[in-house]
Amino acid sequence: MSIPNTFDLTGKVALVTGASRGIGEAIARLMAAHGAHVIISSRKAEPCEAVAQSIREAGGKASVIPCHVGEMDQIDATFAAIEQQFGRLDILVNNAAANPYFGHISDTDLGAFQKTIDVNIRGYFFMCARGSKLMAKNGGGSIINIASVNGVVPGMLQGIYSISKAAVISMTHAFAKECASMKVRVNAILPGATDTKFASALTTNDAILKVVMAHTPLNRVADPKEMAGAALYLASDAASYTTGTCLNVDGGYLIA
């Protein structure tokens, strides 16, 4: 008896932002391994090309479209390029994020505030908006927003970042509700403490990490690869009836 592979992404086109390293890279590699043509995207082309080349050498399909999601003209140019080159988009992973300030919330300056909002809220919003419209032209698709457990329980000394991730959670619900008629599913992943360069302010701060681990039943920091399986599920036919879900991948942090 043949068993259907509901995680097969063959023929799908996937755009993953912030894919030059960390969680985005892990997601891009796993999706490519399951048959998707993955568009590796980040601010700088060179590190994206290194990831894409590695995927191609492993037998996968990958290309590069650089994009700074904090810049509206680059967002528009990215979707124009995708439509021109591929004629479709099936999967969008909004992973690129900004966290320029680590300190007391009352000391947040306007520059750090604006950069965080421009990338994490405005950027995610218009990536979802442009992505859902392109997906709808070809029968639908899946959008996956990488939020954070900080969007539920604000992280210490991570005020504006936590606020922006709470907005991503609400944004996921709003897009899921209104894009369902377009056959576009919209979900989010809420990572806990993960061993990435982006999260190094947390993972290298022994005092804060000790507090986080005390509230993490699995009692360890995640590997970026441990986020990729959740993204594969949400992108695939295995999640065909899943939309508006915020999936905690946090070692139990939010239940502790």
Q: What is the pLDDT of residue 44?
A: 96
User: Which pLDDT band, with edges at 50, 70 and 90, does 210 fall under?
Assistant: confident
CB-side neighbour CA atoms (13 Å) of 148: 26
User: Which pLDDT band, with edges at 50, 70 and 90, does 3 fall under?
Assistant: low
Q: Which of 63-67, 169-173, 210-214, 240-244 has the lowest mean pLDDT?
A: 210-214
Query: 95-135: per-residue pLDDT in tens?
Result: 999 999 999 999 999 999 999 999 999 999 999 999 999 99
DSSP 193-252: SB-SSTTHHHHT-HHHHHHHHHT-TT-SPBPTHHHHHHHHHHHSGGGTT--S-EEEESTT
The percent of residues in the chain predicted with pLDDT above 70, rounded, is 96
Query: 44-85: per-residue pLDDT in tens?
Result: 999 999 999 999 999 999 999 999 999 999 999 999 999 999
- Please name the CATH architecture into which domain 13-255 falls: 3-Layer(aba) Sandwich (3.40)
The domain limits of the chain are 13-255
Q: What is the pLDDT of residue 201?
A: 67
| Mean local confidence (pLDDT), 28-38 | 98
Gap between the Cα atoms of 57 and 147, Å rounded: 31
Tokens 């939020």 -> residue: 147
| Mean local confidence (pLDDT), 234-243 | 98
Gap between the Cα atoms of 229 and 23, Å rounded: 11
Around Cβ 212, how many Cβ atoms within 10 Å?
20
| Mean local confidence (pLDDT), 8-30 | 98
User: Which pLDDT band, with edges at 50, 70 and 90, does 143 fall under?
Assistant: very high
Can you state the angle between helices 124-136 and 159-179, rounded to 10 degrees?
A: 20
Around Cβ 143, how many Cβ atoms within 10 Å?
28
- The overall average pLDDT reported for the chain is 95
| Mean local confidence (pLDDT), 202-215 | 82
Is 161 among the catalytic positions? yes
Q: What is the pLDDT of residue 212?
A: 86
What length does the chain have?
Answer: 256
Query: 165-187: per-residue pLDDT in tens?
Result: 999 999 999 999 999 999 999 99
Q: What is the pTM of this model?
A: 0.95
Q: What is the pLDDT of residue 1?
A: 62
- Annotated catalytic residue, options 124, 161, 233, 241: 161
Q: What is the pLDDT of residue 34?
A: 98
Taking CB atoms within 8 Å and a gap of at least 24, the contacts of 1-4 are none
